[in-house]
Amino acid sequence: MASGFFAVLDDIGALMDDVAVSAKVAAGKTTAILGDDLAVNAEKATGFLSSRELPVLWSITKGSLVNKLIIVPVALLLNVFFPVAIKAILISGGLYLAYEGVEKIIEYFFHRSKAGHQVAATNESNAKDAEKAKVKSAIMTDFILSIEIVIIALGTVLEKGLVIQIITVSVIAVLATIGVYGIVAIIVRMDDAGYKLIKRFHNKGFFSALGVLLVKSLPVIIKILAITGTIALILVSGGIFTHHIAYLHHIFPGLPAVIKNVAFGLTAGLMVVAALTGGKKIFYTLKGNSAP
C-alpha cells in the first residue's frame, strides 16, 4: 500500500519536472509575443480617468482570462481533430490586428482635426460608451494575441503526452495574463505612486524627486506605448502571415524578417481598411444615406 502511494508521488514528481521543463521552453518561445502583448494592452488600458484605470484594467483582465478559458481547450481539441482550422483562425486574427494597426496610423495622420473643446465634449457625453468600446476592443485584441501565445506554447509540446500539453499550455496562459496585466497595472498607477511620494516627503529629498520623476514619466511612457503598441500590431500580424502562409514565408528571402513582417502587416491592414471603407460606402449608398 505504502509502496503504491510513493509510486504515485514519484509519478507526480516526474510529471511536474516534465511540465517545468516544457513550460520553460514554451515561455522562452513566447517571450517576443508577450512583449508585443504588453505593449498593445498597456496602450489600450491607458487614456482613462485616474479613478477608472484599475476598474477598466480589471475588466480587461477578466476578459483575458475568459479568452484563455475558451482558447486553451479549443486549441487542444482542434490540434487533435482539425489542425488546419488553427492556421485559418490565426490568419483571420492577423488580418484583424493588421486592420487595428493601420487604422491607428490613419487616425493619427488624417483624423485629428477636432478642436479641443469638441473632443472634451464628445468624451464627456459618451464617456461610458467610449470606455465600453475600448474595453471591448482590448479584449478582442487580447483574444487574437492569446491565440498566438497558446498556439506557440502548444507547438513546443506537440511530441509530449496530452496531460503535459494541457498543463503546460494552461500554465503559460495564466502566467501570460497575470504577468502582462500586472505590469500594465504598475504602469498606469505610476503617477498616483509619484504623487503619494511627493506628498509624504513634502516635496523634499530623494523619494520626493523619485515621485516627480514617476509623475513626469507617465505621459512619456504612454506616448511610447501608443507607438510601440501600433508597431507591435503590425509586426505580429505580419509575423502571422509569414509563418503560416508558405508563399509569403519564402518570398524575398534576402529581406530581414522584421521588414517583411512590417510590409505584409501594413499591406494587409490597408487592404482590410479599403475593403471595409468601400463596403460601408456601398451599404450607405444602397440605403440612400451618406456614410458617416
**What one-character-per-residue DSSP string does 72-97 give?**
HHHHHHHHHH-THHHHHHHHHHHHHH
Give me the tens of pLDDT residue by residue for the chain, a chain 292 residues long: 445 544 444 445 554 555 565 666 555 555 556 666 676 667 666 666 666 777 888 888 899 899 989 988 988 888 888 888 878 888 888 888 888 889 888 988 886 654 443 444 445 556 677 778 888 888 888 888 888 788 877 777 767 777 878 888 888 888 888 888 888 888 878 888 888 888 888 878 888 888 888 888 878 887 787 788 788 888 888 888 888 888 888 888 888 888 999 999 999 999 999 999 888 888 777 776 655 5
pLDDT at 188: 78
* 292 within some domain: no
Q: What are phi and psi of 252, to 5 degrees?
A: 50, 60
Give me the amino acid identity at 207: F
* 23 within some domain: yes
Report DSSP state, residue 30.
Answer: T
Report DSSP state, residue 165.
Answer: H
Whole-number Å distance between alpha carbons of 184 and 175: 14
Which residues lie closer than 8 Å to 26 by C-beta, 6 or more apart? 152, 153, 156, 157, 168, 169, 172
Q: Under a CB-based contact definition with an 8 Å cutoff, are residues 75 and 169 in contact?
A: yes
* 175 within some domain: yes
Whole-number Å distance between alpha carbons of 39 and 16: 32
* 178 within some domain: yes
Long-range contacts of 276-285 (CB under 8 A, 24+ apart): 276/99
pLDDT at 9: 44
Q: Under a CB-based contact definition with an 8 Å cutoff, are residues 41 and 180 in contact?
A: yes
* 275 within some domain: yes
pLDDT at 137: 83
pLDDT at 49: 64
Q: Enter the pTM of the model.
A: 0.68
pLDDT at 269: 92
Count of domains forming the chain = 1
* 245 within some domain: yes
- The grid cell for 178 is 497575470
pLDDT at 25: 57
Count of helices and strands (H, E) across the chain: 11, 0
* 86 within some domain: yes
Q: Domain range for residue 116?
A: 2-287
* 137 within some domain: yes
